[in-house]
Amino acid sequence: MRPAISVIVPIFKVERFIERNARQLFMQDMEGVEYIFVDDCSPDNSVAILEKVIAEFPDRAAATSILRHETNKGLPSARNSGLMVAKGEFIFHCDSDDWIEKDALSQLYNTAVSTDSDVVWCDWYLSFKNNERYMSQAPPAYGQVTGFQLVKLMLGGRIRFNVWNKLVKRTLYERVDHWFPDGYGMGEDMTMIRLISHANKVTYLPSALYHYVQLNPEAYTQNMTPRHLDQLLHNVTQTIQFLKSRYGKALDEDIQFFKLNVKLPLLISNDIQSYQRWSDWYPDANAYIKQNPLFNKRIKFIQYAAVNRQYWILKLYYHLVIRFIYGVIFK
């Protein structure tokens, strides 16, 4: 019998997190789940810890497999390796340092079946060491959202295009042949934009089911090497080219919003070089800051500060919001 859901979990250097991740997956309140862990040549004890957890859940063991890469290939390749063997009606990607609620899969699956949807997405928690912040992904001002409307919301920044809070019908990957970009890990989840653009029906589930672990709110900009920057720009370019080929000029303004969202994390930093990089990337998009109805006043404020090279404002924002609010209150 075909599994209802295939859960794909890439593994690389997550020995601190994999036990909780696996336990929460195996404790799901539904049957018919296939678990595919992809060992991307992890050099630590992640897989050994995973194997111990599997042994504690013999009823899940038969539906669990561990694929092993001989060399480290990166996150997109690990996701693709899982997709190539997945048999489930639906695909769910779960990052190995995160975790999900025990009824997450059943809620997502039941919603997908009852609404006949290709994609179901939900709210999530931004999880710090001792606190969590509820992150709503509700589509504003829409009733039943179409795939096209959801793409617009993703480009504008209202809805995240992450892979991990979405249940996607497996045949959608096969029908449109959009897989993850091997070798281009930074921004690889932009693949979801392509998939959703082809969805016949998408549905929002107003419940936070995924816990996205963020122990270091500065990690994004701190870990952006020149190689990562090149990967990100590659994925942005490929996504924009796809959108233009599929929709023509219908999303021209939204693509400008997308560029602004892509480079926004460069301002969440204490590094002037990062601010300067923001100025260098997609300067044509800066004229659209005011026009995006999905940007709140705070986001518009720091973007205008960057446009005017008022870097002292960005540093002040970093210390007050990032270091104090997220670093102290939400630690």
Predicted pLDDT of residue 268: 87
> Across-strand partners of 35?
7, 64
Residues, the chain, total?
A: 331
Segment 276-315, tens digit of pLDDT: 999 999 999 999 999 998 888 989 999 999 999 999 899 8
Alpha carbons 204 and 11: distance in angstroms, whole number: 28
DSSP 95-150: -TT-EE-TTHHHHHHHHHHHHT-SEEEEEEEEE-SS-EEEE--PPTT-SS--HHHH
Q: For residue 329, name the pLDDT band (cuts at 50, 70, 90).
A: very low
Chain-centre distance for alpha carbon 33: 21
Predicted pLDDT of residue 198: 94
Full-prediction pTM beyond 0.85?
yes
Segment 193-244, tens digit of pLDDT: 999 999 999 999 999 999 999 864 444 444 578 899 999 999 999 999 999 9
Q: Do 148 and 236 touch, CB atoms closer than 8 A?
A: no
Q: Do 36 and 85 touch, CB atoms closer than 8 A?
A: yes
Alpha carbons 93 and 7: distance in angstroms, whole number: 6
Segment 263-277, tens digit of pLDDT: 999 998 888 999 999
Give mean pLDDT, residues 136-150.
82
Judge residue 181's burial from the number of C-beta atoms within 10 Å of its C-beta, 0-12 exposed, 13-18 middle, 19 or more buried: buried
Alpha carbons 153 and 145: distance in angstroms, whole number: 10
The answer on pLDDT for 323 being more than 80 is no
- Helix orientation angle between 297-307 and 272-280, rounded to the nearest 10 degrees: 90
Predicted pLDDT of residue 216: 45
> Across-strand partners of 331?
none
Average pLDDT over the chain, rounded to an integer:
91
The percentage of residues in the chain with a pLDDT greater than 70, rounded to a whole number, is 93
